[in-house]
Amino acid sequence: MYNSHVSVGAIAWRSCILAALLLAAWPSDAQGTREDWPSYGGLWNAWRHSELDQVNVDNVRRLTAVWAFQAEDGAEGLQATPIVRAGVLYLSTSSNLIYALDAASGDVLWKYDARPGPPGVYRKQNRGVAVGHGLVFMGTIDNRLVAVDRETGRDVWQVQVQDPKQCGCSITGAPLLVKDKIVVGGTGGDLAYRGSISAFDAKTGAFAWRFYITPAPGEPGNETWEGDSWRYGGGAPWMTGSYDAELDLIYWGTGNAAPDMDGEARRGDNLYTASVVALSPGTGELAWHYQEVPHDVWDYDSAYEVILVDLPVAGRPRKLLLHPTKAGYTWVLDRTNGEFVAAWPMVETTWVAGITEDGTLVGRVEPAPGKPVKVCPSVGGGKSWNQAAFSPLTGLIYIPTANGCSFLHVRSQKPVPGKGYIGGFWKGAPASADNYSALVAFDPLTGEKRWELPYKYMLLSSILSTAGGLLFYGDAEGRFLARDARTGESLWSFQTGAGHRGSSVTYAVDGRQYIATPSGWGSMAAGGRARYPELRMLSSKTATVFAFALPED
């Protein structure tokens, strides 16, 4: 017996959620102050939630623009999450510029140019920097990791993580700084290559460790790849992981197996693709793994955000992680050991009939040579890489979802190292829903929808949650909005003049709370929607940051 909604038992314990959450709201090992936005997902737990509450549901209608900054780079819009430390906002642009701005005035303090030559397969994209040890860290389109002096913007060190000519890959995700290590993933899930996560000494740039997503012969997991297929198995972990300081584990979502559609070329489960891996930050040693989509044939990366929450399950407090993925499900795992807790669908999911109570996929709909299949979600995923937020005030997870389906065709292909290795192609197909996208408030354990805001166009910005009871995000039509996290009610909006692909943050300088958002449309997901030609005029590839605050009395 199975059901696509997994029962997690009676919900009588629900009333204790709030108490448990409030205790966990601000970890004692916070990397910055309460006024900062220190890491890609906010804190290491990737909640995208700030404890700042000066701006709240009662006064947000008075929010006003205080500065705007226009970056000299509109290649692919502005896709980053800015990092804010001690009143300085660090912004990366799609072509690998870094700007340091006075976070209160928007004045430029310095600019660093790491622009490489023409882009490879994955185009010009960058999703953010990491800041610490007096340095600002960024991965580049040509696969370097650069470290720049935080005060001056001058070069300190850089290292070629892998040869882009050889792997075809790039670094687009923000690095994760954990203690003395700077950790990066890379693109390449659709290339004939081995995806990996690499760590370097943050101060010196010295190589520390590398975890290959596809294990070599002699390593555990290699038996899940037939023949030599592990060499070309992809699995690139292209987004940013999370960290639990108490368990001292890094959590990282991994990409799809290559060739994407042709599963016959790589019989087996194909570890550790489409998985969550828990690694020791000091050594890169694998503590546990959980493969969400064994033997993926749908391009369903599990590369997205890993959100760390402590919640009671069946009356027992558990250390969990929430993992919304391209496959259209959010997986809930025990982050101490990788044990399956639940999986619930965010959108229409037809690629499996369901997931059993022990996490097994049932009724897989797989394409075969000469036998294309239609599956939902599309290869673009049940959400894009822009991230969900978790609010400890409501205990809900807020996910920008995407509706769509694909016809998948298999066509066998010879692997050429570092070149595209899809093993087929696809054509988009509409989902049963009219709206392309929605912002949905879900119960994190059951997937019960609390409220839903349909969007005709795709929502491609991350969601920001604040202790003021607010959610902030930008839409495809240029609006930057504030909503009541409890009800979804619209409380405030500002037209920034271009669609949103970046992620907003909040911070405080000298006692004043600011909310800053990138604006400017770009990326692969943003480009291919011929369904809505009118979006063209709303989707300019500009690169502007707007900052808002309450008026000073």
Partner 1 sequence: MARTFVIWAVLAPAAALAQLDLRLGAEVYARTCANQYCHGAAGEQGAAAALAGRKLRYSFVARSVIYGIANTNMPPWKEALPPAELDAVIEYVMSLQSAPSSAGPAPAAAPEARRLRHPGRALFFDPGRVGSCGSCHEFQGLGTAVAPLIEAVPGGVAGLRAARPARVDTVALESGATFPGVKVDGKGGQARYYDLRPRLPVLRTLRRDRVPALEGSSWTHAAALDRYSLAEQETIIEYLRLALR
Q: Enumerate the active-site residues.
A: 299
List, in sequence order, every residue forming a beta bridge with 89; answer none if it has no partner: 84, 101
List, in sequence order, every residue forming a beta bridge with 251; answer none if it has no partner: 242, 278
- Using DSSP's 3-state secondary structure scheme, residue 34 falls into coil
List, in sequence order, every residue forming a beta bridge with 142; answer none if it has no partner: none
Contact indicator for 481, 453 with CB cutoff of 8 Å:
no
Q: Which of 516, 529, 543, 547 binds partner 1 (CB under 8 A)?
A: 529
Q: How far is the CB of 127 from partner 1 (least distance, A)?
A: 18
CA distances from 502 to 156, 522, 528 (A): 27, 9, 18
Looking at the Cβ atoms of 186 and 241, the one nearer to partner 1 is: 186
Q: How far is the CB of 530 from partner 1 (least distance, A)?
A: 5
CA atoms within 13 A on the CB side of 422: 12
| 304 contributes a contact to partner 1 by CB under 8 A | no
**Secondary structure percentages of the chain, helix, strand, coil, to 5:** 5, 40, 55
Q: Which of 7, 33, 105, 166 binds partner 1 (CB under 8 A)?
A: 166
Convert residues 259-288 into a mask of x (bound to partner 1 by CB under 8 A) and - (unbound). -x----------------------------
| 168 contributes a contact to partner 1 by CB under 8 A | yes
Q: Longest C-alpha distance within the chain, in Å?
A: 70
Q: Which of 426, 442, 521, 548 binds partner 1 (CB under 8 A)?
A: 426
- Stretch touching partner 1 by CB under 8 A, among 20-28, 48-56, 301-309, 409-417: 409-417
Which helix (H) or strand (E) covers residue 21, if one does? helix 15-24
Q: Which of 16, 216, 314, 362 binds partner 1 (CB under 8 A)?
A: 216
Q: Which of 155, 223, 285, 448 binds partner 1 (CB under 8 A)?
A: 155
List, in sequence order, every residue forming a beta bridge with 375; answer none if it has no partner: 406
Q: Which of 18, 19, 206, 362 binds partner 1 (CB under 8 A)?
A: 206
Q: How far is the CB of 509 from partner 1 (least distance, A)?
A: 30
Residue 52 to residue 55: CA distance in whole angstroms: 8
Tokens read off for 365: 């709909």
| 119 contributes a contact to partner 1 by CB under 8 A | yes
| 419 contributes a contact to partner 1 by CB under 8 A | yes
Q: How far is the CB of 242 from partner 1 (least distance, A)?
A: 24
What are the contacts of 27-30 at 24+ separation with CB within 8 A? 27/245, 29/245, 29/246
Residues that bind partner 1 (CB under 8 A): 75, 118-121, 123-124, 154-163, 165-168, 190-191, 193-194, 204-207, 210, 212, 216, 260, 379, 413, 416-417, 419-422, 425-426, 524, 527-530, 532-533, 535-536
